[in-house]
Amino acid sequence: MSALLCLIAGVVSCYVIVYYCVIRGASCSSSVKLKGRTAIVTGSNTGIGKTTALDLAKRGARVILACRNKEKAEAAAFDIRRFSSGVTAHSPSINVLQESGNNQVVFMQLDLASFKSVRSFAENFLKTEPRLDILINNAGVMGPGRTEDGFGLAFGVNHLGHFLLTNLLLERLQQCGPSRVVNVAALLHRCGTIDFPLLASKKDLVSGQSAWHNFRAYCNSKLCNVLFTRELANRLEGTSVTCYSLHPGVIYTELCRSMSLWLQLLMIPLSKLFFLDLEAGSQTTLHCALQQGIEPLSGRYFSNCTLQQVGAKGRDDALAKKLWEVSERLTSVS
């Protein structure tokens, strides 16, 4: 029995060490205050987007929750605006966090699966908001389906929607510089590919809608995020706008809601043991948005709040330039 207890204690100790030294990772150390500044966070009604928005609000920023679902986004804005009072928040996902007490947190409708919606959001924002200091392209999807404009869902939302949004807001970002664009990518960009002939014929970077195709589509869209950031940095060189892409860590969020039920049940115990919580998962995003001194690293890729090397395809400047030119044509950005 004593040997068994020693074995259990050893396993638990090893897990604790691995979790806190390897899995949990670093925290954003920036103490920057954001009073008088404005940030947009896409997909911020839930998950790490909501946690990121909460942190920005605590720092005094005016935070725009750019989301598709009005009901969920307004509930998230309500949560974030509330003072730290010990009162249970509206959403269970935020109970463990202090609430900001910042009333400058507002919802604006944005459906990244619709170019019309993206243009409407940008037009509304530019008419009503005089500043934009931080744009965090956080929203992401994995699953089957097509966008309103006929593109594969992951490619259309994760890349094209954010590409169009960023370009429509770029002039305002330049006017308010120094400002930043943060693109939430993923380590899975290393598994991504970009097949331009397939994109031309299928309006997608994969040829089917199976679970495997959906996974591949997500990887491909994350490679697009990395390449978009790289080319954006090249085009912004010499301006007051910098941009970064990042891997937030492995987090069990609503991104997994499109998985089959048995896969979701399998993921629950694994997520409890090995995945980051939402607060930990937002740290690299916050680092890229706030950390002073990283401006010379514009266009680069971060993970665990540190600079990391991207996969070989993510370093291909010719591929990044071609993706930009194709994306301009597909979104009709002049």
Q: Please write the tens of the pLDDT for every residue from 109-122.
A: 999 999 999 999 99
- Residues carrying an active site annotation: 218
Structural domain contains residue 255: no
**20 or 202: whose pLDDT is higher?**
202
Specify whether the CB–CB gap between 50 and 81 falls below 8 A.
Answer: no
The CATH number for 160's domain is: 3.40.50.720
Q: Please write the tens of the pLDDT for every residue from 185-201.
A: 999 999 999 999 999 99
Per-residue confidence at 213, pLDDT binned at 50, 70, 90? very high
- Among residues 326, 2, 1, which one has the least CA distance to residue 164? 326
Give the whole-angstrom CA distance, residue 279 versus residue 277: 6
Phi, psi angle pair for 233, to nearest 5°: -60, -40
Give, to the nearest 10 degrees, the angle between helix 317-331 and helix 162-175.
Answer: 100
Structural domain contains residue 185: yes
Q: Is the pLDDT of residue 158 over 50?
A: yes
Residue 42's domain spans which residues?
29-248+279-331
pLDDT of residue 186: 96
Give the whole-angstrom CA distance, residue 308 versus residue 23: 16
- Among residues 47, 69, 49, 58, which one has the least CA distance to residue 104? 58
Structure tokens at 132: 């934009």
Structural domain contains residue 7: no
- Per-residue CA distances from 1 to 6, 10, 11, 13, 130 (Å): 9, 14, 15, 18, 69
Structural domain contains residue 139: yes
Structural domain contains residue 22: no
Phi, psi angle pair for 178, to nearest 5°: -75, 135
Q: Is the pLDDT of residue 318 over 80?
A: yes
Q: Is the four-CA dihedral 199, 168, 298, 60 of positive or negative sign?
A: negative
pLDDT of residue 20: 45
Per-residue confidence at 280, pLDDT binned at 50, 70, 90? confident
Structural domain contains residue 169: yes
Give the whole-angstrom CA distance, residue 43 versus residue 232: 21
pLDDT of residue 23: 47
Structural domain contains residue 263: no
Q: Please write the tens of the pLDDT for every residue from 223-273.
A: 999 999 999 999 999 999 999 999 998 765 544 555 455 555 555 554 444
**255 or 27: whose pLDDT is higher?**
27
Chain centroid to CA 161: 13
Q: Please write the tens of the pLDDT for every residue from 240-254.
A: 999 999 999 876 554
pLDDT of residue 12: 35
Q: Which amino acid is at 305?
A: C
Maximum Cα–Cα distance for the chain, whole Å? 73
**87 or 230: whose pLDDT is higher?**
230
Per-residue confidence at 70, pLDDT binned at 50, 70, 90? very high
Give the whole-angstrom CA distance, residue 161 versus residue 163: 5
Specify whether the CB–CB gap between 33 and 58 falls below 8 A.
Answer: no
Structural domain contains residue 82: yes
Give the whole-angstrom CA distance, residue 248 versus residue 184: 7
Number of domains comprising the chain? 1
